[in-house]
Each structure stands twice: as structure tokens, then as C-alpha cells.
Structure 1
Amino acid sequence: MILPPNLRDELKTPLGKLILNDSSEKESYIQKIYSKKVVITVGDATSELLLGMGLTPLLHIIDGQEKREKRSPPLAESINTELTVKNNPGEISTESFNLIKTIFEQKPPIRLLVDGEEDLLVLPVCLFAPANSVVMYGQPNEGLVIAEITNEVRDKVQKIVNQMK
């Protein structure tokens, strides 16, 4: 599925609470959420932030890049399941979509390493994440988005996915 140009602006609107990069409350807010919710991270910097705080997400999805620049994947000592998938930039591959649909059946913590780009995989994660989940992902040059998975978020994401070709 390819993201049509008319949806790019819609995806610039965060799916949840945006915590600005310079917020002094970011780490305490993350810890508070982590203690109450199932946490999933999408993106190398977001995953590294949590892992650096000693917090291991149920699932973290990375591509070894940040703002299109190669980087080392975040270190995680307690991964039980490591999977890889191919996903081209600006797309959600059928393989990625189907893997995320069933990934939560794997033994956590899970790392999904994407060959390509992981950005749009936030969408199927929002559709298939377990109840009581939050998805954390970076909003480029702004901060961290923390999206609680509610029926409202699932409905919004489903409408976007339905418009992809």
C-alpha cells in the first residue's frame, strides 16, 4: 500500500499527545505511562530513548536510520524475538502489514528490524496493538508522540489505510 500525496499532510497531525523535544517532563511522563500501559515504539530514536531509560517496549520497530541517515540500531539486551521485514519508504508492504497483524502473538520483548523505512508502520501497529497499549513515535523536528490505542484512534487509522493504494 502506497501513501498518496494528499494523505501526507494528514499524517503530520499527531495521533496522540505530542511532547516537545525540549520538554523537561518527557522522561517522567514516559515512566508514568510505561508503568500503566503496554508500550510499543516505532523509530530508532524513540526506541533508544526508552531503552536508555531502562524501559523495554513490548515491541520496538526500527530501521537503522534517523532522518534518512544510517545509524547503529539501539542496544537492547532483553529481546526474546527478533524479526525482519522489507518495507519501502512511503509504503506499507503486504508482508509488513501481515506480520504486524500477528506479531503480538510472539514472545515479547520483540524487535522488528525493517529493511527500508519503518515510519508508516505506526498505522498497522495502531490497528493491531493489544488493548491498554500506547504507541510512541517521533514527530520529526518536534518531539515524541504518545498515542493511546482507543477505538477513535483505530477508526482514524483505518480510514487512512483504506485510502492507501
Structure 2
Amino acid sequence: MHLPENLRSGLKKPLGLLIEDHKVTRSSVSNNMPKDAFVITVGDATTEKMISFGFNPSLQIVDSLEKRNKRDLPGGYVKTILECKNPAAEITEDSISTIRQAFNMTPPVRIIVDGEEDLLVLPVAAYAPDNAVILYGQPNEGLVLVVLTEKVRNKAKSIMSSMN
């Protein structure tokens, strides 16, 4: 699935609560997260930040890049590492099936993406368990915290179905 130009501006709007960069703390995150949430991070910096706050995300999706610059993978404990290919501005069947597979494994699971992970927030929202919280970075703004609801799930599926 390719991201058409007409959907790009709409995806710049956060899917959930935007916590501004200077307000991102362990308590600002945990205070907005339900207890016993299935925590999912999308992005290297987000994953690293959550690990530094003492969270060990159940699913971590990373690509070893930050703002297109190579970086080391975040630390933290993972039980299983999966890999998928996902070029920029796309959501591949490979990435969708890998995400779905990860939800059926014992956490924590890390998916290392060959390509770009940004759009993978959408299939994560579409297929994550009901108690999921998705965290991802909003470039130059802050951290987006999405408590998964049916409304968010439907919006993600709708955007994905609009991609060709």
C-alpha cells in the first residue's frame, strides 16, 4: 500500500494525546496510560525513551534511524526479534503479517524494519489488543500517546483502505 499525496497532511495530526517534547516525563506518560496496558512503541527514539523511563514495551517497532540518520538500536530486554521490509511511504503485506505475528507471541517483541516504520502505527492500531497503548514521536513536537479505542481502530483501518 502506497501513501497517496492527499492523505499526507491528515497524517500529521496526532492519533491521540500529544505530549510536548519539554513535558515528556515518566509521570506524564504513566498518568495517561491505563494500568496493565499492552505498551507498543513505534520509533527508535520513542522506544529508547520509554525504556529509559523504566517501561519495557510489549512490542517495539524500530528501524535504526532517527530523522533519516543511522543510530544504534535501543537497549532493553526483548524475548523475540522479528524483521520485515517496509519502504518509506508504504505499508507492506510483510510488515502487516509481521505485526500480526508479533501480537501472538510472548512479549516483549521487537520488530526491526528494513526501511521506514512511521506508517506502521496504522496496522498496529488496526490489529493491536484492546488494552493497547501506542506511543510514537511527532517530529519536532513531542510524543503521541494513543489509548486504543474502537474509534482509533476504525480510523486506522479507514486510512489503510484509502491507500492503494
TM-score normalised by L of structure 1:
0.95
Deviation at 1:34, TM superposition (A): 6.7
Q: Which runs of 4+ in 1 moved over 4 A?
A: none
Deviations 1:120-159 (A, max 9, x none): 0000000011011110000000000001110000111111
Return the alpha-carbon distance in structure 2 between the equivalents of residues 117 and 97 of structure 1: 13
Gaps of 5+ in 2: none
Return the letter of the residue paired with 1:86.
K
Query: SS of 1:74's equivalent?
Result: coil
Deviations 1:44-90 (A, max 9, x none): 000000111121000000000000011111111x2111111111011
Query: SS of 1:115's equivalent?
Result: strand
Query: SS of 2:154's equivalent?
Result: helix
Alignment of 1:48-87 (within 5 A): 48-76=48-76, 78-87=77-86
Q: Would you say the 8 A contact 1:59–1:111 is kept in 2?
A: yes
Percent same amino acid among aligned pairs? 47
| Residue 124 (structure 2) aligns with | 125
Q: Would you say the 8 A contact 1:16–1:148 is kept in 2?
A: yes
Q: Would you say the 8 A contact 1:19–1:26 is kept in 2?
A: no
RMSD value, Cα: 1.2
Q: Would you say the 8 A contact 1:3–1:91 is kept in 2?
A: yes
Return the alpha-carbon distance in structure 1 between the equivalents of residues 45 and 37 of structure 2: 20
Return the letter of the residue paired with 2:72.
S
Deviation at 1:29, TM superposition (A): 2.1
Return the alpha-carbon distance in structure 1 between the equivalents of residues 34 and 147 of structure 2: 12
Matched residue count: 163
| Residue 109 (structure 1) aligns with | 108
Gaps of 5+ in 1: none
State which drifts further: 93-102 or 150-159. Answer: 93-102
